[in-house]
Amino acid sequence: MWGKYWEGTLYNDYRDVQLDPIAEDITSKFIKTLPQVHSVYIRGSHVEKTTSGYSDIDYLVVSANTGQGRWYYGCYNDRIDGIDVDVRVMTEKEFSKCPNERFLEFVPLKCVAGKDMSLAEIDLYSIKHDYVDKSKTLRNMLDNPVCNGYVKDEYTSKKYVKKLLRCCFDTVGPKLGIHTRSLSYCQYFFAQEVSEYARLTAELLCYYLNNKEYDTKLISDSEILIDLIANGRHI
């Protein structure tokens, strides 16, 4: 089983991590493209030092509470020096609203510009998730009329599956006092607590990990898990 998980208390051990030369160079160039914002964070594998082969770079931009367009709230993709950059933008107010959940959503997290709003540690038993919001996000990935359905091929379906498995885990994580971003552990802990969906989540994990063609039936079958997440079900 790959990845790691935390029990009891999660400490942000990444705030002082030294970025690799590629991430440091891209980060410097990325920051120069931004208007004035509250703070900027790099997150994901380049912070955790788990990159293998080609890896994109993930950023979180916390904007001021006023503004418009993509620098106010939303997601977008860019490319800098041949490296794909995924950017999530949210307002300072939104980021501050649920600091525990936000930190869990984005960890590993390192502030690279502005005032650091990340937490030093979290009691994992105290986490409260907004399951309705999570289910709406997942449903929009499948049914968003503006995008004619975001999930439409192997690439977008795997991004959906990754979020789905993590949201499934979030329904059991607080009870267990455990946090992980590893899809392998997400599926394992969820299946231990909600055994009737062990096979379905195992198939979703296998689909994500293996280079398969877009499986429309599996994606359709997965919708039952969105309903479970909406109810915040945990055993």
235 located within any domain? no
Say what the pLDDT of residue 68 is: 55
Domain count of the chain?
2
- Boundary (domain end) residue, out of 124, 145, 180: 124
201 located within any domain? yes
- Bridge partner list, 74: 89
Q: Report CA dihedral (150, 222, 95, 188) to the nearest 10 degrees.
A: -140
- Boundary (domain end) residue, out of 79, 99, 124: 124
Q: 134 and 100 in one domain?
A: no
Tokens of 130: 């907004």
Q: 138 and 117 in one domain?
A: no
Say what the pLDDT of residue 203 is: 95
- Boundary (domain end) residue, out of 98, 124, 150: 124
Rounded Cα distance, 195 and 201, in Å: 10
Say what the pLDDT of residue 71 is: 53
Give the residue ranges of the chain where pLDDT is below 50.
147, 235
Per DSSP, helices labelled H in 87-130 are 92-97, 99-106
User: Which residue segment(s) compose the domain that 212 sits in?
Assistant: 129-230
Say what the pLDDT of residue 144 is: 58
**Closest to 23 in 3D by CA, of 85, 106, 105, 116:** 85
Say what the pLDDT of residue 235 is: 43
Per DSSP, helices labelled H in the chain are 21-32, 45-48, 92-97, 99-106, 131-143, 154-170, 173-176, 183-193, 198-209, 216-221, 223-230
Rounded Cα distance, 84 and 118, in Å: 24
Q: 88 and 195 in one domain?
A: no
pLDDT digits (tens, 9 = 90+) for 132-191: 888 988 988 887 555 456 787 888 888 899 999 999 999 999 999 999 888 999 999 999
Q: 184 and 81 in one domain?
A: no
